[in-house]
Amino acid sequence: MLDYQQINITIGVICVIKCMILLICTLASDYRKEKLHRCLTLALAIFIPALILNIINISIEGSAGINMIFFQRAARFIAFILANVILILITRYLMIFHEMKTALSKRAVLAFYCAGAAVLVNILIIIVSQFNGMYYYIDESNMFIRGNYYFVNTILALISLIINACIIIAHRRVFSGREFTFLFSYALIPLCANILYFFYTDIFVHSLSITLTIFLFYVGIQNEMERQLKEKENNARIAVMLSQIQPHFLYNSLAVIKHLCSTDPKAAQETVVEFSEYLRGNIDSLTKNELIPFEKELHHIEVYLKIEKKRFEDKLNIIFDIQSKDFMIPALTLQPIVENAVRHGITKTEDGGTVIIRAEETEEGYILSVIDDGIGFDLSEINMADSVRMGIEGVRNRLAAMCGGALDISSKPDSGTTAIITIPGS
């Protein structure tokens, strides 16, 4: 004869191990702060204690003693509550995922709320059941006994699952075939488990079904979303790079090279080398997910300024005040700021001007300054081109994400612009 107690304990232990592995993976993910990821992580963090409580309940069932009875009552109650909270969180997961794919109609939002409401009603009845035993009770021999209205628990859970399944089917066109399959598994697997458990209680199938559902979510949905987010980040980095390699700069550089070919072939040759080095520096930045030495960023700036200097000659004056070099920064952090100072500050004035590039060490870290005496602008009336705004926001985002740094810009019309980058110490 099968020992169902040992089978259920084994199932529970396997589920705990799998969920703990998934929890570690979600916590270690680069996208753990994403809303969808946080929802799945929270579901796992709640489901693991529920699984452990179920294992304990199965282990002590039938053990005599007032303390054992009290402990099982408390553990059963908490496990039931947590199991229903999991259903709410997974419903929330589905809602977030739908919102990422398409704007939800009022009818869809209402349906999701109805699915959650069914679970909330179930939680309220579970609380009431502790006093009247309508769902279940623990008898004097410390055994779990179903109450007369236990079927309501199953029906309410099924209502929530069926509503979610209907929403998934109704919006199936916004999902890929893979996404639809994994999403629908959420409704189908627990649905079958609830029906099975309603008629056959010897094997505890709830834990196995929810574990399998969360696992399928992680494999089928989370991994795909992470891939899409990485692709989005790569596209953003490409956009930032392209925003730095402006067509006007390419055309003007080629025009300078063309002019030098007839007037100073040796200088033209040097400019070609510098121009190719500039392009290579921008392209290389696409592969830099980590910090780079400041000296490397500084060299890239020097190459850029050599080309601009050949074009503007005496109209563009550069002053380097580099007091410290031994630190790391995100790639393409300082160069876009210097380029904006040249393009939108100095070259807009009739007589040209000066750009000062300064690097200094402080007690808190490092400060990089780019100061120009160009036309400046009114910060309250700023109306930058999309490419300029993208470049500045890109710098701010990289600084904040990669080293906890910050970018502050101050400017006044006809008084120039000052950009200060703060890099925290290691």
Mean pLDDT for the chain?
82
Q: Mean pLDDT: which of 6-10, 78-82, 194-198, 307-311 is highest?
A: 78-82
Q: Pick the more confident residue, 202 or 358.
A: 358
CB 303 within 8 A of CB 274: yes
Does 249 lie in the same domain as 233? no
Write down the pLDDT at residue 207: 75
* DSSP bridge partners of 421: 368, 407
Host H or E run for residue 414: none
pLDDT > 80? residue 77: yes
The closest of 354, 395, 130 to 243, measured between CA atoms, is 395
Q: Pick the more confident residue, 109 or 100.
A: 109
Does 354 lie in the same domain as 387? yes
Lowest mean pLDDT among 75-84, 319-328, 400-409: 400-409
Write down the pLDDT at residue 102: 82
Question: Pick from 237, 258, 285: which residue ends a domain?
Answer: 237
Residues 59, 65, 70: CA angle, nearest 5 degrees = 75
CB 39 within 8 A of CB 96: yes
Does 419 lie in the same domain as 279? yes
Distance of CA 148 to the CA centre of its chain: 46
Q: Which residues contact 210 (CB under 8 A, 6 or more apart)?
A: 47, 83, 86, 190
Residues in the chain: 426
* Helical ranges in 102-176 per DSSP H: 106-132, 150-170
- pTM of the model as a whole: 0.56
Q: Pick the more confident residue, 389 or 53.
A: 53
pLDDT digits (tens, 9 = 90+) for 87-104: 899 889 889 888 888 888
Full residue range of the structural domain in which residue 289 is found: 245-424
CB atoms closer than 10 angstroms to residue 341:
25
Does 268 lie in the same domain as 173? no
Write down the pLDDT at residue 1: 38
CATH number of the domain where residue 344 is located: 3.30.565.10
Does 276 lie in the same domain as 204? no
CB 68 within 8 A of CB 142: yes
Does 374 lie in the same domain as 345? yes
Q: How far apart are the first and last CA of the chain?
A: 64
The closest of 262, 345, 353, 250 to 304, measured between CA atoms, is 250
pLDDT digits (tens, 9 = 90+) for 170-227: 888 888 887 888 887 777 787 777 677 666 655 567 777 888 888 877 777 777 677 7
Mean pLDDT computed over 59-87: 88
Lowest mean pLDDT among 51-65, 100-114, 275-289, 380-394: 380-394
CB 250 within 8 A of CB 282: no
Which burial class, exposed, middle or buried, applies to 278 when counting CB atoms under 10 A from its CB (0-12, 13-18, 19+)?
buried
Q: How many domains does the chain have?
A: 2
Does 197 lie in the same domain as 293? no
Mean pLDDT computed over 370-393: 69
CATH number of the domain where residue 146 is located: 1.20.1070
Mean pLDDT computed over 252-259: 80
Rounded to whole angstroms, how far apart are CA atoms 392 and 415? Answer: 20
pLDDT > 60? residue 243: no
Question: Pick from 220, 237, 254: which residue ends a domain?
Answer: 237
Does 201 lie in the same domain as 267? no
CB 63 within 8 A of CB 38: no
pLDDT > 60? residue 244: no
Mean pLDDT computed over 328-350: 85
Write down the pLDDT at residue 313: 84
pLDDT digits (tens, 9 = 90+) for 11-54: 888 889 989 998 998 888 777 777 888 888 999 999 999 999 98
Amino acid at 126: I
Does 164 lie in the same domain as 75? yes
Handedness of CA 11, 14, 18, 21 (dihedral sign): positive
Q: Which residues contact 9 (CB under 8 A, 6 or more apart)?
A: 55, 58, 59
**Percent helix, strand and coil across the chain, each rounded to 5?**
70, 10, 20
Q: Mean pLDDT: which of 127-131, 251-255, 335-339, 348-352 is highest?
A: 127-131
The closest of 269, 332, 278 to 302, measured between CA atoms, is 278
CB 40 within 8 A of CB 23: no
Strands 136-138 and 144-146: antiparallel
Q: Pick the more confident residue, 371 or 344.
A: 371
pLDDT > 70? residue 390: no
Write down the pLDDT at residue 381: 55
Rounded to whole angstroms, how far apart are CA atoms 181 and 168? Answer: 10
Does 330 lie in the same domain as 200? no
Mean pLDDT computed over 268-294: 77
Does 281 lie in the same domain as 219? no
Does 184 lie in the same domain as 260? no
Q: The tokens of 366 are what?
A: 């490092």
Question: Pick from 237, 254, 289: which residue ends a domain?
Answer: 237
How many H-runs (helices) and E-runs (strands) does the chain carry?
Answer: 13, 9
